[in-house]
């Protein structure tokens, strides 16, 4: 008999609806599991047990009265840059260590209104800048498959918690790969929706034209259910898309016959681990045997994506993070009568080194005299990258690539060399530049560590991506593998 904390969201849903267990029992089980492993994994910044049990009681009441919905009683971890009213939201930064939001982000407001139970807030790279969770100001999160390795980032807490069964579902955010890459490194499923599909209201901004919230789940069905719960128009986010509601589980047919899949050669990059290549190539063969047709395609602007991202993302970050000056909220250095000195010291002490590096890069790229050479140029390249994708999507329905060129690496291995760290995201960040949906699903192991396959679709093709991933999942067992922690 499986423990309750081992259940997927859809299994938990079935059990709750059948009355096999209560939401309170499920929440207790998750905290029991957290008690067993969290000391080693460190996937959470804050645990909200009392709050969770109250929400679980309310969910049980709603279920008993026939008012239950798809999320009633489901225990969720929320990344610590998504505002939760009355509950600290730190961005894993000293700057916001004591910040308690006075309002809920739309995504959490929606989940809570549908009966979800907040287990706690997920650890991350500070302000979502990083690929390993080592940039958290508090502590790194450890990969449940090998505690000496990183879980990926920046939503490392989300992926590690789901992989270690410390949460049934987690919400992450993805600016350049931060949902998909940790999902890949931890052997779970992660979906970055189309830009504008999910409201960013209450998401503490890193790079506003790239940021998007999405689910990290134990399988594809769970991601579809979660997307149903969080997607939709929000007048409080001016970039939110006003579309009719979609049921993302309805398209999970398990049939991909005739689907045209493109394999972009540029994503099988130099320096990619052979074990990763083998696993992804094996997955492509599997998709072919399930009835999809596979053809090589080319996205020639891919080689400029990393440089383009590392101009645009830092530029936007330098503007977004200007608000942390110690005046309105967050950390404030007060030990001087001089206002400028106070602001300077606040930022010096409040931000970690990667965040400062990004702010400096961005301020430089946006400054007079450099704007045309860097920022403007990057925006022009961004258009070319978008056009590249638009062109291949006239030819194929979706693209298949590795999510990350490497498996989880040892903690500390890449911290001294930022460029090595940036290179981990070569396969994921072009998708944010183009605003496309993409997801990562487990497709094998290399040296005992999970490998993820990335599926990329044209704008608003989430249903198609979910069905390809689901069909693959039905035919394979990778998603069932769990670390023996």
When asked if residue 174 is in the footprint of ligand GLN (CB under 6 A), the reply is: yes
72 binds ligand GLN (CB under 6 A): no
- Is residue 136 annotated as a catalytic residue, yes or no? no
- According to CB under 6 A, which one of 178, 240, 332, 346 is a site residue for ligand GLN? 178
Residue 425 near residue 154, CB atoms below 8 Å: no
Piece of 31-39, 85-93, 168-176, 233-241 that binds ligand GLN (CB under 6 A): 168-176
The residue (of 5 and 351) whose beta carbon lies closer to ligand GLN is 351
Structure tokens at 344: 């300077």
* 4 lies in the binding site for ligand GLN (CB under 6 A): no
Site string for ligand GLN, 401-440 (x = CB under 6 A): ------------------------x---------------
Q: With contacts defined by CB under 6 A, how many residues of the chain interact with ligand GLN?
A: 13
Among 68, 140, 177, 182, binds ligand GLN (CB under 6 A): 177
Which residue, among 83, 181, 98, 86, has the nearest Cα to 137 in the 3D structure? 98
Residue 417, burial from CB neighbour count under 10 angstroms (0-12, 13-18, 19+): exposed
Least distance in angstroms from the C-beta of 130 to ligand GLN: 5
154 catalytic? Reply is yes
Do the beta carbons of residue 140 and residue 134 sit within 8 Å? yes
**DSSP secondary structure letters along 319-338:** HHGGG-SSSSSS----S-S-
Q: Are the C-beta atoms of 222 and 439 separated by less than 8 Å?
A: no
CA separation for the pair 224, 462 (Å, rounded): 9
| Angle between helix 220-230 and helix 106-113 axes, rounded to 10 deg | 100
The residue (of 62 and 306) whose beta carbon lies closer to ligand GLN is 306
DSSP of 143-211: BTTBTTB---SSSHHHHHHHHTTS-SEEEEEESSSTTHHHHHHHT-EEEEPPTTSB--TTBPPSSTTT-
Name the nearest CA neighbour of 393 among 310, 305, 299, 485. 299
Residue numbers 99-158 binding ligand GLN by CB under 6 A = 128-131, 154
| Contact present, 138 and 44 (Cβ < 8 Å) | no
Instruction: Give the nearer residue to ligand GLN in terms of CB position, either 272 or 294.
Output: 272
Strand partners, 232: none
Considering only 171-179, 277-285, 359-367, 412-420, which stretch makes contact with ligand GLN by CB under 6 A?
171-179
* 190 vs 264 by CB, closer to ligand GLN: 190
Q: Catalytic residue among 42, 72, 79, 136, which? A: 79
The two three-digit tokens of residue 390, written as one number: 């638009």
Q: Work out how close the CB of 143 gets to ligand GLN at its nearest, in angstroms, rounded to a whole number.
A: 16
180 vs 464 by CB, closer to ligand GLN: 180
Write down the least CB distance from residue 283 to ligand GLN, Å: 23
**Euclidean distance between CA atoms 480 and 237, whole angstroms:** 37
The least distance separating ligand GLN from the CB of residue 72, rounded to whole angstroms, comes to 30
- Has 173 been annotated as catalytic? no
Interacting residues toward ligand GLN by CB under 6 A = 128-131, 154, 174-178, 206, 313, 425
Catalytic residues: 79, 154, 178
């Amino acid at each position: 008999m499986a423990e309750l904390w081992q259940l997927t969201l859809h299994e938990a849903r079935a059990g709750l609806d059948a009355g096999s267990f209560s939401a309170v029992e499920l929440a207790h089980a998750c905290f029991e599991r957290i008690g067993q492993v969290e000391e080693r994994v460190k996937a959470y910044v804050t645990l909200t047990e009392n709050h969770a049990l109250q929400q679980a009681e309310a969910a049980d009441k709603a279920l008993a009265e026939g008012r239950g919905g798809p999320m009633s009683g489901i225990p969720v971890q929320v990344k610590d840059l998504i505002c939760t009213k009355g509950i600290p939201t730190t961005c894993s930064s000293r700057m916001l260590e004591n910040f308690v939001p006075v309002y809920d982000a739309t995504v959490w407001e929606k989940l809570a209104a549908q009966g979800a139970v907040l287990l706690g807030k997920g650890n991350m790279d500070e302000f979502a800048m990083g690929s390993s969770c080592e940039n958290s100001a508090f502590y790194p999160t450890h990969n449940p498959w090998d505690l000496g390795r990183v879980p990926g980032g920046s939503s490392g807490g989300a992926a590690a918690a789901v992989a270690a069964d410390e949460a049934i579902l987690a919400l992450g955010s993805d600016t350049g790969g931060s949902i998909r890459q940790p999902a890949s490194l931890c052997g779970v499923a992660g979906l970055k929706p189309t830009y504008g599909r999910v409201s960013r209201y209450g998401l503490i901004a890193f790079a506003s034209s790239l940021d998007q919230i999405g689910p990290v789940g134990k399988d594809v069905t769970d991601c579809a259910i979660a997307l149903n719960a969080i997607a939709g128009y929000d007048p409080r986010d001016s970039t939110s898309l006003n579309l009719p509601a979609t049921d993302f589980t309805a398209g999970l047919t398990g049939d991909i016959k005739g689907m045209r899949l493109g394999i972009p050669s540029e994503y099988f990059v130099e320096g990619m681990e052979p074990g990763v290549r083998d696993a992804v190539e094996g997955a492509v063969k599997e998709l072919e045997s399930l009835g999809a047709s596979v053809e090589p395609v080319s996205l020639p602007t891919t080689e400029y994506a990393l440089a383009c991202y590392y101009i645009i993302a830092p530029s936007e970050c330098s503007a977004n993070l200007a608000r942390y000056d110690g005046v309105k909220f967050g950390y404030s250095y007060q030990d001087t009568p001089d206002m400028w000195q106070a602001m300077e010291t606040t930022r010096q002490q409040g931000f970690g080194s990667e965040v400062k590096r990004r702010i400096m890069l961005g301020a430089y790229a946006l400054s007079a005299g450099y704007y045309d050479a860097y920022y403007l140029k990057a925006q022009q390249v961004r258009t070319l990258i978008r056009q590249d994708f638009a062109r291949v999507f006239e030819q194929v329905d979706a693209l298949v690539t590795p999510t990350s060129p490497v498996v989880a690496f040892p903690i500390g291995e890449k911290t001294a060399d930022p460029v090595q760290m940036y290179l981990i995201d070569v396969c994921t960040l072009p998708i944010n530049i183009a605003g496309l949906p993409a997801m990562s699903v487990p497709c094998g192991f290399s040296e005992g560590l999970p490998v993820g396959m990335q599926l990329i679709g044209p704008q608003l093709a989430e249903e198609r991506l979910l069905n390809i991933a689901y069909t693959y999942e039905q035919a394979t067992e990778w998603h069932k593998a769990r670390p023996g922690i």
